[in-house]
Structures are given as structure tokens and as C-alpha cells.
Amino acid sequence: MSLEQLDAIKAGFRELYAGWSAGVGIAQMRSEWDAFLTLTRIDAAAQDVDADGVRCRWIRARAAREDRTILYLHGGGYQIGSTDSHFNAMAALSLDTGCRVLGVDYRMAPEHKFPAAVDDAFTAWRWLTQQGVDAKHIALCGDSAGGGLIIALMTLLRERSMTQPAAAVAMSPWVDMEATDASFSHNAQRDPVTQRQNLLLMARAYLGRAGNPRDPLASPVHANLAGLPPLLVQVGSGEVLHGDAVQLTQRAIAQGVDARLTVWPDMIHTFQLFAGRLDEADQALREAADFLRKKMNMGTRQ
């Protein structure tokens, strides 16, 4: 691990948040978040597409196959983040898997509350399969809020008796709207990305004041996970959402899911987004790519 790389990223978060005073609006936060995460840019082609009213973006690295697809749901507390901010993570996945990636710009809070993001994820999935893409040739990937969304999407597909994807990767998933795990206090001083109070505010903005924080589609830690496809969960040992990842994996295994957890020492929340800037991010994305290639019967990447 390069401590210099990690320290530079932590300093970047501190500088970013220092500029977010009480008078800063959500539009400015979104713009500055996107800019911070795209200081470097991995080489890949991008093409915007309308998926039955949901804004999406195709990301294709050189020589990416058209017969295998990763559907990517970005994080950002359901309020920030986009296919711009997450371009590098998607481009790295496309490069490392040899697949095309479809990023989903789902509707976000506070303008659009739960279950708008879930509805858009489902619409994007349905649109993709209606293009003639076999569900077994699709994998899901998401980080933070997007990690929770991919679990919600799979439970929704199961409830509607629809074919599941081949596999899924949840990176630093946020799956508990009540933020109950002890890691929120244990890692509070180690993780510059988010804190318990911030997540509770985001949960309220997403759910609304009368929303149920234990709704399984909002907090998949409360969902029935039986029958879901193989799942890889990645998390940093230094992040406040470490406990969410552990709980999700344990519950999945207990309910018969082929699930495994990889804990990355000292890493912060959603460290995978810093592809090209952090060695561990590149390594974690390669691990995710190897897992997805295997589950989509693509063999090992040479």
C-alpha cells in the first residue's frame, strides 16, 4: 500500500468538505464531488442512452465484449454521485473484465425520494433484458448506496419471479438506514468519507420523515436474501460501514447464498472509486473483475 496515495485522498476529502458550508446547495455539492473523483480519467468510451426514461451511460474499454454486461449502480448516499463521478471505477471494471458496463443515473434525493432509485434500477434492468441480453450474461455492481441498491434489485427480481443476474459485487455497501453497527464509532476517526450523523441525514432525505428505515428495499440488511446469486462483498477495515458489509455477508451466507467478504486493511469507504490513484483500488477492482468473469463463464483474464 502507498501511504502517500491514501493520505493524499484523505486530504482531498477534508479539503472538499471544508468548502461545503451551510449555504452550499446540493447542485454545487454534486458538481464538486464529480470533479474530485475524476481528477484522473481512465481511457474508455462513453455513450449516453435513455433506458425507458432512465438516464444511463455505456462505458466500454478497448476490446470490451458486447455479449457480457455489468449493470453499475453508483453510491453517494442517494443524493450525490453520477456516471461522471464513477466513470473510472466503471472504466476499470470494463477493462479488467472485458465487458461493457451500463451505469445508471437513477433519480436522487431530496428531489426524488424512496423508492425512486429502486424503481429506476429495476427499469434499467428490464430495459437491458428487453434489448435481447440474457440475464445470465449480466452482472451487478454497486458501491455504498449503490451496493444496497443492487441487493434491493435482486430481491425485487426474485419476488417478481424474474431471472437473476449471474452474480453481484457490493463494494462498501450501505444496507442499514439506521446505522446501528459499532463500526460507526470504532472507525469514526479513521474514515474521512462519511460519518454516522451524515448517513442518518441522508437516510431522512431519501426516505422522508415518515419513511420506514427498516423497509427491506431501503435497508437490505432486513431483506430476505434467500435465492440470490453469488455475491462478493468488499469493504475497508477502516471505514464506518465495515459492519454493514459484515452483516450483509453473514446474513446472505446464513440464508444459503454463495457469498464471501474481502476486507481490505486500512482502506476507507468506497476506496475502489480511486482507480488509477490508489493501488488498492486497482487491486480490488481486479478482484471484482475476476469474480464476475468466473461467474459469467468468461474464464480468467489473461
Three-class SS state of 60: strand
- Which one, of 295, 293, 229, lies nearest residue 99 by Cα? 293
Active-site residue, from 82, 85, 94, 144: 144
- Which one, of 275, 237, 230, lies nearest residue 252 by Cα? 230
Active site residue 183: no
Active-site residue, from 183, 222, 269, 280: 269
Enumerate the H helices of 224-278 as residue ranges: 242-254
Active site residue 86: no
Active-site residue, from 82, 94, 239, 280: 239
| Distance in angstroms (rounded) separating the CA atoms of residues 202 and 177 | 9
Amino acid identity for residue 250 in this structure: Q
| Distance in angstroms (rounded) separating the CA atoms of residues 84 and 48 | 11
| Distance in angstroms (rounded) separating the CA atoms of residues 266 and 191 | 9
Measured CA distances, 64 to 60, 99, 240 (Å): 6, 5, 35
Residues assigned a catalytic role: 144, 239, 269
